[in-house]
Structure 1
Amino acid sequence: MTTHLEHVEPAVSPTDMRTAFAQTAERLLDEDPLTAVVLADISADLFTEAARRHPGRTLNVGIREPLMVSVAGGLSLSGLRPIAHSYAPFLVERSFEQIKLDLGHQDARAVLVSVGASYDWTQGGRTHQSPGDVALLDTLPGFAVHVPGHPDEVPALLRRAVAGDGSAYIRLSNRSNAAARPAAVTGAGMIDVVRRGGGALVLAVGPMLDSVLAATAGLDVTVGYAATVRPLDLVAVRELSGPGTPGNAADVVLVEPYLAGTSARLVDEALADRPHRTLALGVGRTEVRRYGTPEEHDVVHELDPAGLRRSVDGFLGRGAS
């Protein structure tokens, strides 16, 4: 006999992305007997009740992240849809060989969900920082990548990833915009037009939106928002960046919360048939060895509103404001 479990959404939205992820993953475990969650101690306390109800599909392998990915690969090959979760550098960088071989090479499919982003926990030092995670996954074919900018965007993006046929990476962060964006809340994967202007397209990814809006205040630019960057909505990039003509290039400013330039290749390929310029902003390649705070790291990488404004003004040939 099967029992249908009725799920009631919480009256108050989670205030952080990790909680939103755990709550949604737990509902997926209840709803779909093919869903599984594999942990490596990180966030295990958020899955205590799920592990009690679904002990065979909520697995904690301990501090063994490569094993976690290998287990996820095995679960996938057995017909399950696994979600593997840990800190970004442990999930992607430390376990990359297993992602490449036990997922990609074996044609296994999993949803990888990270926390920590580029430098959310600066006090943890370089071991807990991963600005190169999306660029590293770009070396493998077929990975979808979602970068929510608000906790309310997480449930639909996770559900979309789990329902998909391929592997996906969801990059959670402690940083958040003040409000969720409609296209991300529905999980549609499209670029959301936040503000229309007559000049360049400034494309903010995930939690960079609020800083971009502050940095571009008063500028005649279009601000777009993307929570799904693989695949990137290149049709919208072409439309919003303008036709581009000799002497009047289409200008695109990419603002990503990970390694600068990660998505520049895609934009340049999409606009290859028209004159265009691309400015790629993000985390720099110089290692910041002082702990500080995430906000202080933003300043070093010029990802704070003032630093972004300087970069955009310089790119557009404007004087300092």
Structure 2
Amino acid sequence: MRDAFSDALVRLAVQDPKVLLLTGDHGYALFDAFRNQCPAQYINAGIAEQNMVGMAAGLARAGFRPFVYGLSAFVPLRVLEQIKLDIAHDGLPVVLLGDGAGFVYSHLGTSHQSTEDIACTRVIAGLDVLSPADRHEMTACMAHAYAARRPVYLRMGKSDRGDVHSSSLAPLEAGRMIQVRAGQLDLPAFIATGSMVRTALDIAEQQVDAGVWSVPSIKPLDAAQVVRVARDSRGVVVLEEHSTYGGLGSAIAEIVGEHNPVRVMRIGVSDRFSEHCGTYSYLLKEHGLDHDCVLERIRMFIGSTPA
């Protein structure tokens, strides 16, 4: 997925010399191709993320198309005020790229783990929130973010969990979920984003014959489509590598609760920090987001949901 991101960014920059990449002293190897092909469009703003976002706002006002890259623990979390006031308030076409969402930077501890970024960004007025699940969604999200010409936050999670789509996607429709797998209608629908789409798909293919929907666009989110999926299913299971507060699960529950009250299970990170450092796989297990823990919770939910 990171290769797809790099390829898409280089392609946009070659096509449009107004595209600029700003980084807060991160992503050197990731941006080798960009620096080689578009060196004049690359700005290392240093470890000063708040200044970097302010710089991006000024460049956008001057007619440039800034893409601002940082770890998602810092972009957006460290720079929320600047995103809100410098960029979103005036609708500037700045794309914010938060890499390492969730537990990707597992060994670096809580300071580098990001399970709050969706909640923080989806409440900022005028800011779109994207969360691709694989390289195909990443390519589509990058094209959409550039074409939107408004503030966008793009969340990048674990990059090596494999494809969930078999081929390239059509251009994203704002707010539309993508059906990855059809399933039995007497089971809950699985609605997932980012890295957890792979988990949802594995469980649906191996153990629970449920339909799976991927959500590359968390904001906006097509409420009418969410309601249709909920009405056609026996409940909804939402999976995300993010806090259960304020993330995709909250967005789905808000829509379903208002328009079509069915049961919604939110599978995500509980209201706590990681207790230990370790591998990415270890942290998923600690927080109950590994395959076996998720499967057990889904089976309990199905067993307690009226037919």
Q: Where on the TM-score scale, by shorter chain, does this alignment land: which range?
A: 0.7 to 0.9
1:238 matched to 2:227: yes
Equivalent-residue separation in structure 1 for 2:293 and 2:32 (angstroms): 43
Report the CA distance shift for 1:19/1:214 in structure 2 as closer, same or farther (over 3 A): closer
**Aligned residue in 2 for 1:137:** 121
Aligned with 1:253 (options 237, 240, 251): 237
Structure 2, unmatched stretches of 5+, are none
Partner in structure 2 of residue 287 of structure 1: 273
| Structure 1 position 185 matched with structure 2 position 169 | yes
For residues 300 and 48 of structure 1, the distance between their equivalents in structure 2, rounded to whole angstroms, comes to 35
8 Å contact from structure 1 (residues 50, 58) kept in 2: yes
**Amino acid of the structure 1 residue aligned with 2:122:** D
CA shift digits 1:211-263 (9 cap, x unpaired) = 1233344435322222222222333322222268xxxxx51111012112412
Would the alpha carbon gap of residues 103 and 33 (structure 1) be closer, same or farther in structure 2, given more than 3 Å must change? same
Relative distance call for 1:166 and 1:275 in structure 2 (3 A) is same
1:107 Cα offset (Å): 3.4
Once the 2 structures are TM-superposed, how far is the Cα of residue 281 of structure 1 from its aligned partner? 1.1
- Aligned runs of 1:215-230 on 2, under 5 Å? 215-216=203-204, 217-230=206-219
SS of corresponding position for 2:263: strand
Aligned Cα root-mean-square deviation (Å) = 2.3
Q: Contact 1:153 / 1:187 at 8 angstroms: preserved in 2?
A: no
1:317 aligns with 2:306: no
Partner-residue secondary structure (3-state), 1:197: coil
TM-score, scaled to structure 1 = 0.84
3-state SS of the aligned residue for 1:85? strand
**Residue correspondence of structure 1 range 58-97 to structure 2 within 5 A:** 58-97=42-81
Separation in structure 1 between the aligned mates of residue 253 and residue 237 of structure 2, nearest angstrom: 11
- Closer/same/farther in 2, CA of residues 312 and 49 from structure 1, 3 Å limit: closer
Q: Is the Cα–Cα contact under 8 Å of residues 148 and 184 in structure 1 kept in the other structure?
A: no
- The worse-fitting range, judged by mean Cα deviation, of 115-124 and 52-61 is 52-61
The structure number with the bigger radius of gyration is 1
TM norm structure 2: 0.88
Q: Which moved more, 1:262-271 or 1:298-307?
A: 262-271
Which of 18, 24, 27 is equivalent to 1:40?
24
Match of 2:249 in 1: 264
Contact 1:111 1:161 (8 Å CA) reproduced: yes
Which stretch shows the higher mean deviation, 41-50 or 196-205? 41-50
Compared with structure 1, are the counterparts of its residues 307 and 79 closer, same or farther at alpha carbon in structure 2 (3 Å cutoff)?
A: same
Q: Is the 8 A contact 1:260 1:280 kept in 2?
A: yes
Cα distance, 1:222–1:54 mapped onto 2, change above 3 Å: closer
Please give the alpha-carbon distance, in whole angstroms, between the structure 2 residues aligned to 1:106 and 1:203.
32
Identify the range of structure 1 (136-145 vs 185-194) with the bigger mean alpha-carbon deviation. 185-194
Work out whether residues 18 and 63 of structure 2, in 8 Å CA contact, stay in contact via their aligned partners in 1: yes
- The correspondence of residues 179-218 of structure 1 with structure 2, limited to 5 A, is 179-181=163-165, 185-189=169-173, 190-193=176-179, 194-198=181-185, 199-216=187-204, 217-218=206-207
Q: 1:163 to 1:183 in 2, by over 3 A?
A: farther
* Structure 1 letter corresponding to 2:193: V
Report SS of the residue matched to 1:297.
helix
Alpha-carbon shift at residue 277 of structure 1 (Å): 1.3
Partner of 2:289 in structure 1? 303
| Aligned residue in 1 for 2:94 | 110
The answer to whether the Cα contact below 8 Å between 1:125 and 1:289 also exists between their aligned partners in 2 is no
Quickly say closer, same or farther: Cα 1:139–1:183, change in 2 above 3 A.
farther
Change (3 A) 1:176 1:149: farther
- 3-state SS, counterpart of residue 163 of structure 1: helix
